[in-house]
Amino acid sequence: MKRKQHFKYSLFLYLAIIWFAIPFNTVKGQRMRQIEIIQADFIELDEALGMGAQRLIGNVKLKHEDGIMTCDSAYFYSKSRSLDAFSNVVIEQGDTLTLYGDKLHYEGDTRIAQIRKNVKLIDNETVLITDYLDYNRETDIAYYLNGGVITQEDNILSSEQGYYHTQTEIFYFKDSVVIDNPDYKIYSDTLQYNTKTEVSYFFGPTEIIGEENYIYCEGGWYDTKQDISLLNKNALLENDGRVLKGDSLYYERDNGFGRAISNVEMIDSTQNIILRGNKGIYYENEGLITLSDSALMIQIDGLDSLFIHADTLQSINDTASTTDSKILLAFKHVKIYRQDLQGMCDSLAYIEDDSTFHLFGDPVLWADENQLTASKIELQTRNDEMYRLYMRNTALLISMEDSTKYNQIRGKSMTGYFENNDLVRLDVTGNGQTLYYAEDLGIIIGVNKAECTDLNIYLVDNQVSRVNYLVQPAGKYYPLNLLPSSEAFLDGFAWHDQWRPKKYSDVFIWK
C-alpha cells in the first residue's frame, strides 16, 4: 500500500516539476496541444523510452483537442507531446470521421497521425482502406503512398497514391487510378473525386469503358451519380463501330446525348466514312449525328476519296434497312470533290444501303469535260466506284468546245453507265435534243442540231464518240457562219465551271 502511494506521489511530483518548468507563455500557447490520458488499465513510467515516457496498457483512451484515440496499448511521451499506439487503434474526430489501424504514431505539436497496417478511414458513406496512411489534423488532409481503395455506394476507387481533404470531402488520386462501377470502369493517371457531388475530375490520360461505349480524354470531369461527362484534350467517344472526337465532348450516358465543340470528327470504320466539323450533336439511341461549322464528309478510297461539304451534315440510322446502315444528309451549299467527279447542289442524301447519292436543288455534276445538270440527280456506286447515274427531269449534258461554243445534249431524263469510274454511255429518254459542233482537220466548220425522242450516247475518255438516234429523229446542219445565236443554246443552258471545285479544299468555297 505504501509502495502504491509512494508511486502516485512520485508521479505527481514528477509531472508537477515538468509543468512548472515550462515557461508560462509557452504553456498558454500550447495548452490545446496537450494530450490527455482519459483511461488505461495500467500506467507506468518507462525512462528507458525517454524522459517522461509512460507505458499505457489495456483499454487505453486518450484525447487531443476534439480527437479521441483508443487502442490496446501505447507509449506516451509527455515531453514531446507524442505517442505510439498499438493494436485496435481507433481515432474519432467529430461525428463522421473515424480511423482504424494496427499501429499509430501521433505528434501533438504537428497534429500528424501516422497509421500503419489494416488502415480504414470512414467518413460518412466513404470508406478508405490502405496499409499506409498519414493524417494531418491541422490541415485535415489524409494521404497514402503505397496503394489504397475507396468505396462509396456503387463506386470502388483505387490508386497507388491518394490525398483526402476531410473538410471538403475531396480525394486526389495519382498513379494507376481505377474507378470500378457496375456500368463502367475508369482508368486514369491523375484524378480528383468529390465524395459529396460524386464528380470525378481528370488531369491526365483517362479511359472510361462501358459495355456499349468507350471514352478517352486527357482532361475534363465525369459526374458518376448522373452519368454525365465533359471531356477535353484529345477527347474520344467510341460506340457501335463509330468514333466521335473533339477538343471538347459533353456526354450524357443515360439518354445517349452528346455535344462536341472544335475539331469534331466522327469516324465510321464500317463504311470508311469520316465526318468533320467544329460543332457536333450526337443522339446515341437514334444513331443521329449533326455537324456544322466547316462540316465535311470524307468517303475514304485512297487517292479517289470523296469529299462533301455543306452548312450542316447529318448521319442517322436507316430505319428501313435490315443491315443497320446509315443515311447521310447534307443541307445548304453542298459541294462535292473527287478526282474524277465534282458537284454542287442545295441538299444531298446518301443512302448507305444501296450506296446511292441523291442530289436536290439545282444539282450540277462535272466529269472531266462534261457538265451534267437536272432537277434531281442520283449517283449510285458499287465497291466505292461509280456505277449508275440517273438524271431526272430537264437533264442536260454540256461540254465546252471553246470559250463561246458548247456541245449539248438534253432530254427529259438520262441514265448514265460507268466503267472504271469513266462515263461510257448515256441513255436519253423523252424529248431528246443534241447540239454538236462539227470539225474538219481540227477546225470547227458547222453545227449539227437534232431532235429525237430517245438517244444512246457513247463516250470514250469522257468525250462523246457516237450518238444513236432511236425514235423519230429529225436534224439540221448549220454552217458555222449561218448558225443563229438563238439556236446556239438548248433550253435550260447554264455553264457553271467557275463554281467547279478544282481541289478538295474548294468545297468550302460557295458562289
pLDDT in tens, 123-157: 888 899 999 999 998 899 999 998 999 998 888 99
User: CA 64 to CA 53: how far, in whole Å?
Assistant: 17
* DSSP assignments along 373-410, one per residue: E-SEEEEEEETTEEEEEEEEEEEEEEEEEETTEEEEEE
User: CA 118 to CA 418: how far, in whole Å?
Assistant: 76
Helix (H) / strand (E) element for 14: namely helix 2-21
pLDDT of residue 463: 79
On whether the CB atoms of residues 18 and 27 are closer than 8 A, the answer is no
Tell me whether residue 238 is exposed, middle or buried, using C-beta atoms within 10 angstroms of its C-beta: 0 to 12, 13 to 18, 19 or more.
middle
Closest CA to 189 of 207, 167, 209: 207
Measure the N-to-C terminal CA separation of the chain; round to a whole number of Å. Answer: 112
- CA dist 437 → 183, 219, 269, 423 (Å): 71, 65, 48, 21
Closest CA to 446 of 488, 489, 403: 488
User: CA 271 to CA 361: how far, in whole Å?
Assistant: 26
Q: What residue ranges of the chain have pLDDT lower than 50?
A: 1-31
Domain 361-511 has CATH 2.60.450.10: yes
pLDDT of residue 6: 41
User: CA 153 to CA 155: how far, in whole Å?
Assistant: 6
Give 421-478 pLDDT, tens digit per residue.
888 999 999 989 999 898 888 788 999 999 988 989 898 887 788 888 888 788 889 9
pLDDT of residue 212: 81
User: CA 307 to CA 152: how far, in whole Å?
Assistant: 49
Which residues are CB-contacts of 403 (< 8 A; sequence separation ≥ 6)?
none
Which residues are CB-contacts of 502 (< 8 A; sequence separation ≥ 6)?
none
CA 42 to chain centre: 63
Long-range contacts of 357-366 (CB under 8 A, 24+ apart): 357/381, 359/334, 364/496, 364/499, 365/336, 365/341, 365/389, 366/341, 366/342, 366/497, 366/500
pLDDT of residue 493: 93
pLDDT of residue 135: 93
- CA dist 447 → 109, 440, 480, 484 (Å): 107, 12, 6, 11
Residue whose C-alpha cell is 494496427: 102
- CA dist 170 → 11, 98, 115, 198, 463 (Å): 45, 16, 20, 9, 73
For residue 283, give the C-alpha cell: 443522339
> 29: which DSSP letter?
H
Closest CA to 59 of 74, 75, 45, 48: 74
pLDDT of residue 374: 95
Cα four-point dihedral sign 137, 140, 142, 143:
negative
CA 197 to chain centre: 23
User: CA 202 to CA 187: how far, in whole Å?
Assistant: 10
Strand, coil or helix: 488 = coil
CA 261 to chain centre: 10
